[in-house]
Amino acid sequence: MIITVAGVKKEVSDGLTVSQLIIDENVETPQYVTVTVNDDFVKSGQFEETVLKDGDSVEFLYFMGGGQ
């Protein structure tokens, strides 16, 4: 199946979970990543049970704090 990851179309195996995609994509500091699938936020506790479908669009986001 074909999904889009961070704007890049990729062919992946059927049944791929968000959790496995994080591993496959070598996501830096996965414990701090926020994931959206088709612009919907996926709770970190649901990464292992969220199965991606053909045509899905996935983004990895990091929220940074800071300022004065």
- What was the pLDDT predicted at 63? 78
In a domain, 68, yes or no: no
In a domain, 67, yes or no: no
Residues 8, 32: Cα–Cα separation, whole Å: 22
Residue with tokens 């669009």: 57
Residue with tokens 């999904």: 3
- What was the pLDDT predicted at 68? 67
Domain range for 56: 2-61
Give the count of domains, the chain. 1
pLDDT tens-digit series, residues 21-66:
999 999 988 999 999 999 999 999 999 999 999 999 999 998 777 7
Tokens encoding 42: 């996926």
57-61, strands of its sheet edge to edge: 8-11, 2-5, 57-61, 34-37, 40-42
- What was the pLDDT predicted at 67? 64
CATH of the domain at 27: 3.10.20.30
In a domain, 52, yes or no: yes
In a domain, 66, yes or no: no
- What residue type is 66 in one-letter code? G
